[in-house]
Amino acid sequence: MEGKIRLHITIKGVVQGVGFRYFTRRAARELGLEGFVRNSRDGNVEAEVEGSENRIEIFLNELDKGPPASNVTAIDTDPLVSGGDYQGFEIRF
């Protein structure tokens, strides 16, 4: 069985005011991932996600496409220690 990994993700570009958080939550839930997504004060969107490496790779590809009104210019990821403390995937405000 593949182990879980956890990432902090920063999505840059036209990603606020275009439904990006809802798009992210839907994609994460469809893939069975856990974590959260929120808008950053700097205009980016940030997320923490935990799940299998394979599913997170699919998730990152979906984020790169984004919802129709978005324009993703960069996605930065940083590994975190897997904690298993998330319950589902939520939007934080």
Which member of 6, 38, 39, 54 is catalytic? 39
6: nearest Cα among 64, 66, 89, 62 = 89
Q: Is 92 a catalytic residue?
A: no
Q: What is the pLDDT of residues 22-71, one digit of tens each?
A: 999 999 999 999 999 999 999 999 999 999 999 999 999 999 999 999 99
Domain 16-85: CATH architecture, name and number where available: 2-Layer Sandwich (3.30)
Taking phi over 0 as left and psi of -120 to 50 as alpha, with beta for the rest, 45 belongs to beta
Predicted TM-score of the model (pTM): 0.95
* Residue in 21, 25, 44, 55 annotated catalytic: 21
Spans of all domains in the chain: 16-85
39 as an active site residue: the answer is: yes
